[in-house]
Amino acid sequence: MNTPELHINSVAVLQIQVVPLQGISCNKLSKMNGIEKENIHLLQNLSNIKEEVANCFQFSRVLSSGVDIFVNDSFSNSHKVLASTVGVTRFCYACISGFHFEERLYVLKKLAEASRKPYVAIIGGGNLYDKAASFQFLASRCQGFVFVGMMSFQIMHALGVSVPRNLVDHKVFNEALDIVRLARDRNVQILYPKDFWCRNKCDPMRLQVFPSHGILDGWVPVDLGPVSLDEMGSMLRNCKKIIWIGPVKFVDSSKYTNAASKIAKILYQLSQSNCEITVVGTMACKMVRQEKSSLSFINMIENASVVWEFLKGRNLPGVMAVDRGYPFEINWNSIYSNPAQSLVVDIGSGNGLFLFEMARRRKDLNFLGLEINEKLVLRCLDSIHQSGIKNGYFFATNATSTFRSIVSTYPGELVLVSIQCPNPDFNKPEHRWRMLQRSLIEAVVDLLASNGKVFLQSDVEAVAIRMKELFLRYGKGKLDLVHGQSDWLEENPFGVRSDWEKHVLERGAPMYRMMFSKSPDV
């Protein structure tokens, strides 16, 4: 809560009592009885609490006590698994993103688009090892890399440019070489600094410009030189899209900000001429704000760690935990040969054998598997590609939080949803029914077409009974059992068995099945 707009006094305009809570712990929260429900409680510095960082189940439950709707507006923490942003979603009826969160998601989405060219990435900072995977994404979209931070020395070394030994990290040479090769293979131009302002070690007040290949002993680079800035400016003037991520920072250079200021000025000028600019990182955003107070044409994300994780192709836990957790548009035309066909969704599709066989038998339907295990999904997608199936696909996602946002964009009707044999972890009660939360059931009922079906089955009777109870409780009165209330379906109505179903029946154990139908009259 460092910014003025988030100060306690600002929240007080709601004319509701604002209660700051400090020194919070799991035990203290659980004992806080008697606090008025209409109060606003501000919990500060949760990052210092071990239960928060560990995504403690008990701490999450206490945090969400009495909460129906959870709104996450902490985009800067979306790359972390925290109790206050991820754990609490297990206990809330609805979990949504706030306005700021949605705006930042939109910026991420724009980063992934490569429609405007030339698209150039200005890359600052260091720690090449942790960021190397991001260059696969950047190289697939950008026409140029401009290195402006400590990382530039590793790239220069990989290019064969003479660099002082003390500035070379030999542990990341292979990663730097891979980036250089990747750029060459993709025809991505690499621009590195040609000169630096350097500070004398013995006389810190003495500054001098050196060419990048000729930095003398006793001198350390602290800022980009004039040639580097001129060359960069010439390259950027032709761009239609630019991302600046990471600080222009070198050895002990915190007070040398001339280059960063000039880059900010160049970007502001370009933003006025229809160039799409995105600035990422605290220092970069600060420099741009200092340049101009009006920045309506520049997108900014303060936390660079979130963007680096996104560029690596990783899911952001904070994003996946909210109900609108699938922020990108889905091109259904590229997934199915005929996206107008009715859709069947299998939640927790596992190895996909059920959907594969169904897709082979029913060419008139499209099939979609939603599975949280990314490795299983990758195998399923490989099988889809090899078999040539045009009416089947899989997403690696948590269906509990993304079912509505994914399926609501499908152009055809949703005619069947199946949930088969969810894992009942009786040793961990908090995990036992996590898949069947109220928000998921309501999303299924809302999106299901009239007379559409919901098929549920399990080899554990307690699980099957629980699933039946939850769908009847949260089905909004729109679901009716196709068979009797007290009976189970004796046979699989599709003639296609899942892998686990086959295993259960082969050992002579029963399956507990049920089928709901959505009433057309409600």
Six token digits for residue 9:
């006094």
Task: Return the DSSP state at 316.
Answer: -
Tell me the average pLDDT of the chain.
87
Cβ pair 318, 86 in contact under 8 A? yes
Cβ pair 161, 212 in contact under 8 A? yes
Rg of the Cα trace of the chain? Answer: 28
CA torsion 474→478→482→484, rounded to 10°? 60
pLDDT beyond 80 at 247: yes
| Model confidence pLDDT, tens digit, residues 25-73 | 666 655 555 455 556 777 777 888 899 999 999 999 888 887 888 899 9
Cβ pair 243, 270 in contact under 8 A? no
The residue type found at 241 is: K
| Strand 366-371 with 343-347, pairing | parallel
- Section 432-442 average pLDDT: 73
What pLDDT score was predicted for residue 30? 55
- Token look-up 């990314």 returns 374
pLDDT band at residue 114 under the 50/70/90 scheme = confident
- Section 418-436 average pLDDT: 64
pLDDT beyond 80 at 2: no
Rounded CA gap, 503 and 485, in Å? 27
Cβ pair 25, 48 in contact under 8 A? no
Rounded CA gap, 280 and 463, in Å? 47
Six token digits for residue 459:
């080899």
